[in-house]
A and B are shown apart, each in its own frame.
Chain A
Amino acid sequence: MSTLASARAELLRLRKWPAVWVTLGAWMALTALFGYLFNYLSVRTGDTTFSNDGASTDFLLSEILPANAPHVLIQGMPMFGGALMLVLGAIVAGNGYGWGTWKTVLTQGPSRPSVVLGSIGALTVFVIGVVVASLALCFGLSLLVAASESQTVVWPAATEIAKSLGAGLLVVEMWALIGYLLGTLARGPALSVGLGLVWALVVENLLRGVGELLGPVEAFTKVLPGTGGGSLVGAIIGTGGPDDTPGVLDVLGGGPATVVVLAYLALTPLLAGWLVTRRDVA
C-alpha cells in the first residue's frame, strides 16, 4: 500500500519536473533525426552521411518505411537511448540528496523499501511511456515518408513490434536503473551522470576492444550492460549492414543477452534498496 502511495507521489513530482521532459524529449529528437531525417535527406539528395555511407538509396528508403519502424525504434537504444535513460535514472535518485527531499520523504511515514520501490516504479512508468511514444513517432514519421515517396504501406508483423517493444523496454529500463543505482551511490546527480556516461559511451567500448586481445577481459566484457543491451538489440535487427548503429553488437546471442539484461534489471533495484535501507540520511 505504501509502495503504491510512494509511486503516486513520485509520479506527481516527476510529471512536473522539466528535466524529465527535456531528457525524454532529447531521446525522441535523436530518434527522429538519426532514424528518419538524415536518412530521408540522403534518399532525397542521393548524398550519404557518416552513418549510412555505402548504402544504396533504395536500401535507405526501405529503412525508413513503416515495415522497418520496430527496428528504427530500438537501433539507438543500446548506446544513446541507454545513456539518456541513465541520466534520467541518476537525476531521479541523485537530486533528492542535494535538495534534502529524501530526508523530507523519509519523515512522512513510508518505509525505505517502499520509497525505493515506488520511486523505481514511477521511473519505469516514464520509461515505458517514452518507448511507446517513440514507437508512435517512428510509425508517424515512416508513414509521412511513405506518403511523400508514394510507397505502398506495409506494416510490420505484430510479433516484430512486440519483440522490439519488449527488447527496447528491457534495454532502456536496465540503463535507467543503473543510473538510479549510481545516483543513489553517489548521493547526487553530477558524479553519477559523469561516471555513468563515460562508462556507457567510452569505457565499455575500450574494454571490448582490449578484450579481443586478452581472454580474461573478453570474458568480463560479455557480462557488461552495454554488451547485453547491444547484443539483445543486435539479435533482433542484425549487424554488419551498411548503416550499423553504434552500440548494436553481435557479441552474445539473443538468449544470453536477455539473461545479462535481466540480471541487471534484478540486481540494480536490490542494490539501491539495500543501500537506502542501511545508510544514514542527512
Chain B
Amino acid sequence: MKLKTAAVIAEYKKLSDQELVYRYLHRHEDIAFDFLFERYGHLVLGICMKYYTAPIAKEKAEAFFMQLMEGLNKFHIDEDFKLWLYNYINKQCVSDTQTASFVTKNVINSGGTNFTNTEVTDGVLKLIQETLETLNKSERQCIEAFYLKDMTYAQIANEYKISALEVREYIQSGLQTIKSKNEALKHVKQ
C-alpha cells in the first residue's frame, strides 16, 4: 500500500473516478479506494441520513462502503461512477429499510439527472428561453431569480414567501423540463 505523500495525493486527486476504480480493482491499490471515499463518503452519509437516525446513519454508511469493495466488481468502467454509486447506495438503503415506495421516487430522480455538460449553441439558448416561457409561474420565477439575479434559495424563499425546499423543487422541476426538451432536440438532430 502506497503511503500518502504530497506527490501521491496530487497524483490521485487528478484521477477520474473510473481510473480510481480501475486502480483499486485491477492494481489492488487500496489508496484509490480511500480517494473514492474522500470524494463521496460525505454524500453517502447524507443519503443514509435520509433513512436512519444520525448515529445509525454513520454505521450504515461505513457498512455500505465496506460492501462497496466487493460491489465495485459489478461496475462497468464505461459507466458514470457517480450515477452508479448513487443508485447503488439508494438500493442498499431501500433493501435495508424495505420501503418500496422510495424506490420509485429515486429511480425517477436519478433517471433524469444529467451529470454531463451540455454544449450551449444558439439553438439550445433559444430552446431554453422558449421553455422558460412554458414553465408555470413558480418555476419560472424561481429559475429567473436563481440564474438571472444570482439569488440563493434562502433569498428567493424570502422574496416569494415560500420555503427554501420549495424553491429548490421548483428550480429542479423547471430544469428537468428544460433538459428533457434539450434531449429531445438532440435526438431530432441525430
Decide if A and B are genuine partners. Answer: no
